[in-house]
Amino acid sequence: MRVLGIDPGLTRCGMGVVEGEVGRPLTLKDVGVIRTTSTLAVPDRLVTIEKGIDAWIDEHRPDAVAVERIFARSDVSTIMGTAQASGLAMVCAARRGIPVALHTPSEVKAAVSGNGRADKAQVGAMVTRILRLDAMPKPADAADALALAITHIWRGGAQARIEAAQAAALAAAGRNR
């Protein structure tokens, strides 16, 4: 499974592609950040982010896209920009029929570090270890995007198998009536 993890943001939108499956070593395919400057109008920044996400999807052809679920912080302006970038990520994937999964920050932290309250340094260190990298991906937005992709492979793949088994059981029950 190839997963594009997206850590949405209006100034820095982390992007990371990881390939693998549960129980096997994961492989880093690409990592980076789509950047916009605050001197541009928000609509222009959103166009830049959309074009960047489209380019990543076109280049890497992921099986799924994992996006950080937005949660309320004290700064509403930060939430709005993050939510707008998150919406773009979902639209870019949905336009191509690629499944989208949302993972909360605490889910991601728990999946990669075993601690839902891990700090950015701990998450970055675990991403480096899990993907067998020589150095921690920088900035933190890039490491967070990789952590999202890892989480989806480890948790999302299991969730998909559970849903498939439930669907098969329902179908079998319907045939036995």
141 is in an annotated binding site: yes
Structure tokens at 176: 């036995």
pLDDT surpassing 80 at residue 2: yes
Whether 141 sits among the annotated catalytic residues: the reply is yes
Whether 58 sits among the annotated catalytic residues: the reply is no
Note the maximum CA span of the chain: 64
Which residue in 75, 107, 134, 141 is the catalytic one? 141
- The CATH class given to the 2-175 domain equals alpha beta
Spell out the residues 6+ positions from residue 121 whose beta carbon is closer than 8 angstroms to its own: none
Confidence of residue 46 (pLDDT cuts 50, 70, 90): very high
Instruction: Judge whether 142 and 123 are in contact, CB under 8 Å.
Output: no
30 is in an annotated binding site: no
CA dihedral 40, 44, 50, 53 (to 10 degrees): -30
Q: How many CB atoms lie within 10 A of CB 122?
A: 15
Return the pLDDT at 173.
82
Q: Rounded mean pLDDT of 32-39?
A: 97
pLDDT surpassing 90 at residue 163: no
Percent of the chain with pLDDT over 90: 80
Say how far apart CA 172 and CA 116 lie, in whole Å: 38
Q: Does an H or E element contain 61, and which? A: none
Return the pLDDT at 168.
74
Instruction: Judge whether 148 and 5 are in contact, CB under 8 Å.
Output: yes
| Three-class DSSP category at 134 | coil
* Average pLDDT across the chain, whole number: 92
Which residue in 7, 44, 50, 107 is the catalytic one? 7
Say how far apart CA 103 and CA 13 lie, in whole Å: 16
68 is in an annotated binding site: yes
Return the pLDDT at 60.
98
Domain positions in the chain are 2-175
pTM recorded for the entire structure:
0.88
Confidence of residue 171 (pLDDT cuts 50, 70, 90): confident
Q: Which residue has the higher pLDDT, 97 or 70?
A: 97
Structure tokens at 126: 């675990």
